[in-house]
Structure 1
Amino acid sequence: MSGYRTVASPAGRRRRVQVVHETPKRLRLRTSALSDPSLDTGFLEGMLEAVPGVVNARVNPAASCVTVRHDGGEAVRARVLAMVEDIPGEAFLPGHGRARPLALPTVVGQGLAAAATPFLPSSVAAPLGLALGLPTIAQGMGTLLSEGVKVEVLDAAAVGASLLRGDTFTASAIVAMLGLGNWLEQWTTQKSDQLLKDLLRPQVESVWVERDAHEERISFADLRIGDVIICGAGELIPVDGVVVDGEAAVNRSSITGESLPVHAELGTEVLSGSLVEDGRLKIAASTVGSETSMARTRRFLQNSLRSKSASQKHSDELADRLVPVTLALGLGLFVLTRDVRRASAVLTVDYSCALKLAAPVAVKSGMHAAGHRGVLLKGGQALDNLAAIDTLVFDKTGTLTRGDLRVTDVLPLDPALTGPELLALAAGAEEHYSHPVARAVVAEAKARGLALPPISQVDFIVAHGVSAFVDGDRVLVGSRHFLEDDEGVDCAAADTPGKLLRGEGKSLLCVARAGRLAGLIALRDEPRPEAAEALQKLRARGITRIVVLTGDHRETALAVLKGFDVDEIRWELKPEDKADIVRELQSQGRKLAFAGDGVNDAPALLTADVGVCMPGGADLARESAQVVLLEDNLLALVTARDIAARTRRVLTNSFRTAVGVNSAVMLLAAAGRLSPVTSAILHNACTLGILGYAALSGGSATGAKAHTGEPQPQA
């Protein structure tokens, strides 16, 4: 079955899409856009594979085709067609370029032809060798004219020199090994990309929901916030939400790396992508579609597939600089010895393949390992930077502490108010404010069954407090600094009780009515149980300085962080102070990571060498950070550091091996000890060995138990 559809491209041109072939679960499409040199085919494949119901997608630029295997659903087919008809602009990168994929039958044919050459008469072998070698020579000449001296020029010189001296077997053998090496390198790179793409692919197309007391199956795309989703044993949870009925054992290993399932019951928050192992749950959806945790993870990883780290760029630059050295050595050797064979043997060795390909393969393996252990790394640069940091800066609330504030004391200072009245007054003013302090006050008032007074003219002052009118009186709720310094309220009555409460590690909220201090509300945020252990293990991994930032009063901060291994605590800070402190530490030559989770943390997350966001972080914080922890556990940061350090060791070892082995092969070739064929075999074997090592570098980390805190073994 085939046909044509004509659509308008984003640039306004009419574009025709042909359905070349179709079966119930396979679709092959052709459009000229797929042969565009600037199209990032891997990125487009990732986008297509992220469509619910798509099994895999493969783009063939040479044929201007894409083949998509799917589950047979008509909605899936329609979405695939729509995406190919109107390929998003982000899939195109000007100057991206790409190597034309080499088909396995071509590689096999080159190998058979080279093997047959010694047994053929010269009248057949010579034309055959020329036919095999001409594409390599043409590619090398084209590269020389358009890009300068690159590895393709070396390959062309080696093949051309062999043909000039009449050695068709050597020329054919070099072409065959180049083809095999390129195909294996291509295959290894695709496999490393696939590691990450496997994390992108959703596995839910339709879901069961409860509507009007009836269960019905609807499309995943039709889910709405507030829908009650039903998940039974063996099913994936498709949304972020809260359990409203049922109990189950939930496996979150694909999201957080936890090896054991957790018990979910009424009130438990669950994440999309988790698996119900046993039991049955009804879940009220809080986020759906592209806003779920799994969807965000897919989006971050999709973008990371195309990014390069500084170490990758350095490897590329070094490899390019070494190509002219190899060419000069080969030509110089020929001038001195007039030995074409010896010069050809030198020209078959280059550093480019191993240096350029090992880095992205190792980085993607590391990112894959991190993703399976509860850490989302947004690209290779995050790995690079995380391995290099020596300083950690924490925003206290929500990172070293749980961020789950609870009201502990309600202390009226106005004789006309009781404790419940003071709490109701504060909760009424704070009811529509989304700050954690406000949520804690409102939750406590509701838990006590208090009726909240009607309010009007509410004004939220970011990072300071709330102003509202209750029964004609202006009510202020916020920090002492806000009431006393900004609004002129006398807070002297809070001195003695405030000092006692802060000494217990409690934060204070001041409440004023009609210009007079009405009372204090104390809240406490408990330290994370694993925080002290995480800091200790980060110290063992090379972190030399740990700084904690907080807006709390000095006594509160010291009490909460008592026993923590930190070098410095800075208190009573405004949100805008955090980025300034990060810059101050960086000016001292420190490489640092900043960990936070709030909207106000975004400037510091962007300023730091590595921004780390906790799993419950605000959208802006998650977008700003380079590292997102997927599990609410600081030991995941230890895991991230281990994987980053391991990836750095793999890159270092790969670099040293590539330079060492290839240099030895080149010297032996220059000394006349190796033939061109042997030299090519050794060079390609070294390259493939390094690629295999880089590809497997993340495997042991993936299989290890998450968050053990044990340092990773040396690579």
Structure 2
Amino acid sequence: MFQVVNAQPRRLRLRGGVIAHPCLDLAYLSALVAALSGVARVRINRGARCIVVDFDGDAATRTRVLTALANIPDDAYRPDAVREQPPDPFRAIATTLLALATPLLPLPLRILVSWTLALPTMAKGVDTLVEDGVRVEVLDGSAKLLSLLRGDYFTANAIGALLNWGEYVEATSEQRSNDLLKRLLTPQTESVWVVRNGVETKLPLAEVQIGDVVVCGPGELIPVDGRVLDGEAAVDQASLTGESLPVPVGAGSAVLSGSVIHEGHIRISAEQVGAETSMARINRFLETALRTRSSGEEQSTRLADRLVPLTFATGLVVYALTRDLGRAASVLTVDYSCAIKLSNPVAVRSNLYAASRAGVLFKGAQALEDLDRVDTLVFDKTGTLTTGDMQVADLIAFAELHEDGLLALAAGAEEHYDHPVARAVVNAAAARRLALPPISQVDFVVAHGVSAFVDDQRVLVGSRHFLEDDEGVDCTAADALEADLYGAGKSLLYVARDGELVGLIALRDRIRPEAVRALADLKRLGIIRTVVLTGDHRDAGRALGRALPDIDEVLWELKPEDKAVAVRRLQAEGRRVAFLGDGVNDAPALVSADVGISMPNGADLAREAAQVVLMRPDLDALVVAVATARHTQAVLKQCAVASIGINSATMALAVAGLLPPVAAATIHNGSTVGILGYAALAGRTGRALTLPVAVGDDGAEPPDEAADDIDAGNADDAAPAALAATGARHLEHSANAEARDADFA
């Protein structure tokens, strides 16, 4: 496919006919090669069908480049591939020098040079007129032709030079906005130190397996997602979460691939490797962001294309009325489309980069646009508004079973279930150093509980609905305790063995400390309604609502499918809904919402179903996401207004004969450059991501004791009921703050 036509110690020039393929996305191919470890720079020349790669001179890097080019993935080919050449200032410089020299040339040479310079532009205009109708290329060719027919060769050449400079700046602005995102595609390290058989061994990254112990020291890139086994370090996570300062980590801390060890040494148990790591997911998201266009961008393109015939028709009318070729040429140099078309992708990509640096990943421009339209935010409770770090609070054993026996039985059944409740039960058993019984035939019933066999006895762990309604277990023995436990803001797990209720496990969660502030910020950003959906008991739902005054509605005792129904109900009321969740059971609601948002520690299914992924485990990242979406759309509107306003004023002056063609072209191209510069810088200033601190009316966060006593419940294991049966049960907040605080004293 590719042949090496020139090889130097640190540079390869390769030629391949595939570069001329009409559907090959050159931007994608360039990013694919540039992302390889050891590659410094990539340049592609479609005309020469060549690709030049500057690299570190390592033979392994050379092999990686050749292998990548020999195996171009299918998704690099698409009908709407970007086929423009990389920005090259040579043509703009050359035409500028020739334009300045035009008055000094003899007349015959002046005519020859001017027509020679104009022919490519006019030919392109004719081709565009035949293929696509009246577009900006037709305006450019017509403006140069009219100037040549008038014998104004300097104006014709000057217009050409200004057009070339405008194209160069536009291409450079778009390329730089792409490069901003590509900088986040940090290549993984090629080899890592892994402990095998008690010995540290250097292995290729591709050979690392889940469960391996990876050793990392100062200055090294963490290559896997995992948990620190031992050691301490300061970890720079800026490229992933936006944290400006290194984060201290120690035994038990979770670490992400792509982070860099600032100082210290740690050993990491690998939990995600290869394509499943955080950095790999970020790469996929950003590639999608670069390759997709939003409906807003498509609309901007269509609007810009519709304005071109208006300009062309105005020029014809002016000439018909005045017979002044110069005035008509001035009108034709005014083009609305450039700034409108190009400011959109530049601003979007610049803001995508800023959001990524702040710990928010948008899966393309459409997600950014959709989030701006959202007026209603729906939250799952556990792991979103709460920390999800549930703890066992009470163990109540029935019959002849004691507390440790109850906990060991439940932990054995829950051991292989990756859920906050399951982790809380298993961790509590580990803290007591309990030996777990052998378990077989484990069956997970999503949003209900777990069924397993222990010594040929069937064990059920889950909600009362699961045990009593689905499995026929008599749970009346818990009636006297249930009300008190729920009233204390706790979630309940029911445990049965061989059809008999043997105990209750009460659990407690904490509201996120930033929740009050974040919800207030979201209200100020234009979120009209906030709703919480939970499978937890009514009392726990009410407790959460009283603790968070900016929550407008709480729906409780819901199953996963009920959450999706609730989202659709809000949409039927005319609301634009975003849903924030983190569990497998949240996937139906994530898909049903106009925008699905996943927490960073969410299940794989939740991350895949979501259009926006928060990389920081706090609600401030959600505020950043909404603020970025709002800011981006504001910038796009400002760019459109500026483009239409400046070009309309310029055209009016041109129609009145007050602007010669060169002046009109200068104003048009200068305004386009200025608008693109604003679009590029608006996302990088960080203004979209900076919000004033919002607190409650009393200026304080929720009291710690309140957070301790409020159980956020568990949407998977609490008592569910059909949404149709419960109706739209919402919580009206008490305006009496003293009464609210008294509930958790």
1:507-522 equivalence runs, <5 A: 507-522=491-506
The aligned counterpart of 1:9 is none
Q: Give the Cα separation in 2 of the matches to 1:134 and 1:591.
A: 52
Q: Give the Cα separation in 2 of the matches to 1:334 and 1:177.
A: 23
Shift of 1:676: 0.7
Q: Which deviations, in whole Å up to 9, do the C-alpha atoms of 1:211-237 show, x marking residues without a partner? A: 344434333333332332222222222
Q: Give the Cα separation in 1 of the matches to 2:666 and 2:421.
A: 67
What one-letter code is carried by the residue in structure 2 that aligns with 1:261?
P
Q: Report the RMSD for the aligned CA atoms in angstroms.
A: 1.8
Q: Would you say the 8 A contact 1:104–1:183 is kept in 2?
A: yes
- Stretch moving more, 306-315 or 94-103: 94-103
From the superposition, tell whether residues 406 and 561 of structure 1 become closer, same or farther in structure 2 (CA, over 3 Å): farther
Q: Would you say the 8 A contact 2:360–2:614 is kept in 1?
A: yes
- Stretch moving more, 446-455 or 317-326: 446-455
Shift of 1:50: 2.3
Q: Give the Cα separation in 1 of the matches to 2:435 and 2:214.
A: 33
Q: Among 427, 434, 445, which residue is 1:443 paired with?
A: 427
Aligned: 1:490 with 2:469? no
The aligned counterpart of 2:263 is 278
Shift of 1:100: 4.2
What one-letter code is carried by the residue in structure 2 that aligns with 1:236?
L
What one-letter code is carried by the residue in structure 1 that aligns with 2:475?
C
Shift of 1:640: 1.6
Q: Give the Cα separation in 1 of the matches to 2:456 and 2:208.
A: 44
Q: Which deviations, in whole Å up to 9, do the C-alpha atoms of 1:276-326 show, x marking residues without a partner? A: 222222222222222111111111101110111222122111100000000
- Stretch moving more, 384-393 or 698-707: 698-707
From the superposition, tell whether residues 115 and 364 of structure 1 become closer, same or farther in structure 2 (CA, over 3 Å): same
Q: Would you say the 8 A contact 2:446–2:585 is kept in 1?
A: no
TM-score, scaled to structure 2 = 0.90
Q: Would you say the 8 A contact 1:638–1:707 is kept in 2?
A: no
Shift of 1:638: 1.0
What one-letter code is carried by the residue in structure 2 that aligns with 1:528?
R
Q: Among 651, 672, 676, which residue is 2:636 paired with?
A: 651
Shift of 1:498: 1.1
Aligned: 1:501 with 2:485? yes
From the superposition, tell whether residues 689 and 193 of structure 1 become closer, same or farther in structure 2 (CA, over 3 Å): same
From the superposition, tell whether residues 222 and 708 of structure 1 become closer, same or farther in structure 2 (CA, over 3 Å): farther
Q: Give the Cα separation in 2 of the matches to 1:246 and 1:458.
A: 36
Aligned: 1:403 with 2:388? yes
- Stretch moving more, 76-85 or 575-584: 76-85
Q: Among 667, 677, 682, which residue is 1:682 paired with?
A: 667
1:39-438 equivalence runs, <5 A: 39-96=24-81, 98-101=83-86, 103-202=88-187, 204-414=189-399, 416-438=400-422
Shift of 1:483: 0.9
Q: Would you say the 8 A contact 2:628–2:689 is kept in 1?
A: no
**Identity in percent:** 56
Q: Give the Cα separation in 1 of the matches to 2:574 and 2:149.
A: 57
Q: Give the Cα separation in 1 of the matches to 2:80 and 2:34.
A: 25
Shift of 1:71: 2.7
From the superposition, tell whether residues 456 and 213 of structure 1 become closer, same or farther in structure 2 (CA, over 3 Å): closer
Q: Would you say the 8 A contact 2:517–2:693 is kept in 1?
A: no
- Stretch moving more, 574-583 or 465-474: 465-474
How many equivalent pairs are there? 694
Q: Give the Cα separation in 2 of the matches to 1:274 and 1:230.
A: 14
Q: Which deviations, in whole Å up to 9, do the C-alpha atoms of 1:518-571 show, x marking residues without a partner? A: 111111121111112111111111111100011111112222443112111111
Q: Would you say the 8 A contact 1:365–1:698 is kept in 2?
A: yes
Q: Would you say the 8 A contact 1:233–1:277 is kept in 2?
A: yes
The aligned counterpart of 1:7 is none
Q: Which deviations, in whole Å up to 9, do the C-alpha atoms of 1:85-117 show, x marking residues without a partner? A: 221111111143533445322221111111111
Q: Give the Cα separation in 2 of the matches to 1:456 and 1:560.
A: 37
From the superposition, tell whether residues 102 and 456 of structure 1 become closer, same or farther in structure 2 (CA, over 3 Å): closer
What one-letter code is carried by the residue in structure 2 that aligns with 1:183?
Y
Q: Which runs of 5+ in 1 are unaligned?
A: 1-15, 711-715
Aligned-partner SS, 1:434: coil
Shift of 1:77: 2.2
Q: Would you say the 8 A contact 1:51–1:201 is kept in 2?
A: no
Aligned: 1:524 with 2:542? no
What one-letter code is carried by the residue in structure 1 that aligns with 2:476?
A
Q: Which deviations, in whole Å up to 9, do the C-alpha atoms of 1:483-526 show, x marking residues without a partner? A: 11111111111112111111121111111122221111111121
Q: Give the Cα separation in 2 of the matches to 1:705 and 1:545.
A: 22
Q: Give the Cα separation in 2 of the matches to 1:59 and 1:315.
A: 29
- Stretch moving more, 48-57 or 257-266: 48-57
What one-letter code is carried by the residue in structure 2 that aligns with 1:497?
L
Aligned-partner SS, 1:62: coil
Q: Among 453, 457, 464, which residue is 2:437 paired with?
A: 453
Q: Which runs of 5+ in 2 are unaligned?
A: 696-745
Aligned-partner SS, 2:304: helix
Shift of 1:148: 1.0
From the superposition, tell whether residues 500 and 250 of structure 1 become closer, same or farther in structure 2 (CA, over 3 Å): same
Shift of 1:643: 1.7
- Stretch moving more, 143-152 or 26-35: 26-35
Q: Among 611, 623, 626, which residue is 1:626 paired with?
A: 611
Aligned-partner SS, 1:235: coil
